[in-house]
Amino acid sequence: MNVILLGPPGAGKGTQAKKIVESYSIPHISTGDMLRENINNSTPLGIKASSYMSKGELVPDELSITIIKDRLSRTDCSKGFLLDGYPRTIPQADALQMILTESDRKIDVVLNIEVYDEELIKRLSGRRMCKCGASYHMIFNPPENDEICDLCKGKLFQRDDDKEEAIRNRLTVYKKQTQPLIEYYTKKKLIRTINGGQDIPQIFKDIKKVLKEYD
Ligand code: ADP
Ligand code: ADP
Ligand code: ZN
């Protein structure tokens, strides 16, 4: 099963992705996580990406296309994959289609998680991350112990781009560059809309209902 999670920043893609990959045993492919890892390791790619990311801009398409092409060629993707945060532009979606066609694969479904702007801002400004990849919300999804990860006991932190200025920019960037993908995948009859305004378990139930049709 080859799935794309589409939705604005803060929609809950990462949160739902963790649950989906646990249930369906497919790899979670987050370009945001991979880019942050490159930044932490000061790789040439990370160095190129970091100034874009801290401002809430998209990194140039060639960077994200390079990492996704490499990642999708690994053997663990042969039984399926979950893309989170890729594609974010039409050229990225076209590149994805080329990469998959070359290896005789295709996207089965695009889950479009819809959430209102006001709620997105609340979610992003309260988000706290752990270096293990877990994400929390100080009010909506708090860790058991203040600022400590439930899973690995690491100290939680706030992402640079979850500060107010960058949040607003990311929502504008989403509308301009990523939202056109809804029409792109609607035309291909791949879009399924998920009401992301509900609580985390209910959204996951709705997602499972849809994925059952493709499993
Ligand atoms: P995305 O990957 O789409 O940017 P995340 O999964 O990181 O979104 O979620 C953004 C923030 O909102 C996190 O702090 C997360 O804990 C919180 N969150 C996720 N889903 C919900 C929900 N359904 N209701 C309330 N808060 C949520
Ligand atoms: P969120 O969870 O808030 O949606 P991500 O972790 O997916 O954010 O992405 C964080 C940042 O990484 C983006 O604002 C952008 O700068 C960069 N990024 C991630 N994926 C892509 C992509 N496919 N194309 C361009 N930039 C990307
Ligand atoms: Zn952790």
34 Cα–ligand 3 center, Å:
16
**CB within 8 Å of 26: residues ≥ 6 apart:** 1, 3, 20, 79, 80, 81, 82
Residues touching ligand 2 (Cβ under 6 Å) are 9-10, 14, 31-32, 35, 52-53, 56-59, 64, 85-86, 88, 92, 161, 170
65 Cα–ligand 1 center, Å:
25
Q: What is the pLDDT of residue 41?
A: 96
Q: Which CATH architecture has domain 2-116+178-211?
A: 3-Layer(aba) Sandwich (3.40)
The residue whose CA has the least distance to atom 3 of ligand 2 is 9
Nearest to 174 by CA among 46, 30, 10, 60: 10
Which residues are tagged catalytic? 13, 88, 127, 159, 170
Q: What is the pLDDT of residue 107?
A: 98
Residue 33 and residue 94: Cα distance in Å, rounded?
A: 22
Q: What is the pLDDT of residue 133?
A: 86
Mean pLDDT, the chain cut into blocks of 10 residues (215 residues total): 98 96 96 95 96 94 97 96 98 98 97 97 96 92 95 95 93 98 98 98 98 93
Average pLDDT of the chain to the nearest whole number:
96
**SS3 label, residue 26:** coil
Does ligand 1 have an atom closer than 6 angstroms to the CB of 200? yes
**SS3 label, residue 160:** helix
Residue type, 206: D
Assign residue 156 a region (left: φ > 0; alpha: ψ between -120 and 50; beta: otherwise): beta
pLDDT in tens, 169-191: 999 999 999 999 999 999 999 99
